[in-house]
Structure 1
Amino acid sequence: MHQLILTGFLGKDAQVRDAQGAKAIGFSVAVNETFKKAGEKVEQTTWYDCTIWRKEGQTGIAEYLKEGQQVMIQGRPKPGGYKNAQGEFVPTIEVRVTSIELLGRKAGTKAETEKAGAFTEDDDNDLPF
């Protein structure tokens, strides 16, 4: 089994939707990487589409997954993709999240050092504290 561990920032607030008789909490995570190429500093952002699958009534973690929130996630990666408006294939990486830890807020947002807690796939109650 493949496992992926990422630390990044949420691109927008999480959305809860009905899917296959369960609840899916969907959000995207931006992971920034900085490196030098030909002596120039280059910053590259990779986006990951993430899903937490929960039972009915166990979606409380979604209210803490807000735009700018820094998270560390662990999950199973699944390659995917879509065709853009120009008809080109754009590869994506989807992640089925098995655990998530709320680390803080992006610099410049309120409560930037706030720690709200963690969730794992096996938790009966997904409140992060």
Structure 2
Amino acid sequence: MYQKIIVVGNLGRDPEMRYMPDGTAVTSFSLATNRRWTDRASGQPVEETTWFRVSVWGRQAETANQYLSRGRQVLVEGVLTPDRATGGPRLWTAQDGTVRASFEIRADSVRFIGSREDGGYSGGGDYEE
């Protein structure tokens, strides 16, 4: 069986890097994707934001931590990782009491899109593990 997810979005916060006991770097960041459409019934514009939590490993983690920041646009390729307990997205309760879902991606590749000025990385870097 084979599974792959490709997502283009913007970082919701600056990345956070840590090291595993064996010395492997791991960088995590949140990624938002937006979908916009017009509601047929009301004619009103609708926007839906889906959040992903991305983990990047190894040398790629160090590069992502160095060059990425909140608002930057990236293309992430990887594997969707389900919650072990539910087999679906990770569920959590927001401060306002609403239940939310977080989709987890283990990145195989992170590509910086655009320029630094528009939220991307001008080097066009493509970093794979």
TM range (shorter): 0.7 to 0.9
Quote the Cα distance in structure 2 between the aligned partners of 1:49 and 1:73.
Answer: 11
Query: Which of 96, 111, 127 matches 1:119?
Result: 127
The letter for the 1-side match of 2:117 is A
Identify if the C-alpha distance between structure 1 residues 58 and 25 changes in structure 2 by more than 3 Å, giving closer, same or farther.
Answer: closer
TM-score, scaled relative to structure 1: 0.76
Identify if the C-alpha distance between structure 1 residues 44 and 58 changes in structure 2 by more than 3 Å, giving closer, same or farther.
Answer: closer
Residue equivalent to 1:104: 114
TM-score, scaled relative to structure 2: 0.76
Q: Please state which structure has a larger fraction of its residues in strand.
A: 1
> Which sections of structure 2, spanning at least 5 residues, go unmatched?
82-88
How far has the Cα of 1:12 moved from its partner? 1.4
- Give the root-mean-square deviation of aligned CA atoms: 2.4
The total of aligned residue pairs comes to: 116
Q: Among the aligned pairs, what percent are the same residue?
A: 28
How far has the Cα of 1:81 moved from its partner? 2.2
How far has the Cα of 1:114 moved from its partner? 4.7
Contact 2:11 2:69 in 1 (8 A): yes
> Which sections of structure 1, spanning at least 5 residues, go unmatched?
122-129
SS at match of 1:60: helix
Residue equivalent to 2:37: 35
List 4+ stretches of structure 1 deviating above 3 A. 83-89
